[in-house]
A and B are shown apart, each in its own frame.
Chain A
């Protein structure tokens, strides 16, 4: 069965960086994008970006650009998300999620719809002086 296991909680000071891992199992790691989503305390979900484990390609939400780095190590089926120049606004639970692909059809074609089908357990990052 698909499993995503994340690293443990982190406490950081403002200005520092944090690197979280997401270890995948139960499927071929390079076949599906890994996304990162965060949730501040009492708030909604915010998509941060994705990494293509096959070639290391990435795409980020505009808000994340410049501070976030996503990498992977295919030898151990693990994705990483590093966030730099932390502020208190970065205090959140960070989730990795594996892409799930579904389709809808019309009379002429089928269309791929990506979603977040499998989630890690979340990693709490607390930024405080």
Chain B
């Protein structure tokens, strides 16, 4: 199975900060990489698919980049509603998730 490793596991940031989350695959997955946001008690929602495509309705402050084994999710200016846990997920083979990155208020 392909392992997905996110870093950091958690971070503290302030409203307006630029936030970057990294996801590394244990082998090359081209651009078969998606990002999700999950708020407490809620189902996840799809933010980014195919590494860099913004899902419809998702604010443009979210962006994704990368290919191969290294990927990033960037929030250009953190908003109060962005405090949540973020997961990467690969679709190159049977699906696996990263362990998550919790974004907390500083």
Contact = CB atoms under 8 A, between A and B. Distances in A.
- A and B are interacting partners: yes
Interface of A: 35, 44-47, 59, 61-62, 95, 97, 100, 102-104, 111, 113-117, 119-122
Interface of B: 1, 30-34, 36, 38, 43-46, 49-53, 55, 87, 89, 91, 94-100
Given A95-B43, A119-B45, A47 B50 contact: no
Contacts, number: 72
Nearest to B97: A45
14 contacts: A44-B99, A44-B100, A45-B36, A45-B100, A47-B94, A47-B96, A97-B43, A102-B49, A104-B52, A113-B34, A114-B95, A115-B49, A116-B46, A119-B45
Contact of A103 (B30, B44, B50): B50
Contact of A47 (B31, B45, B49, B95): B95
A95 B46 CA distance: 14
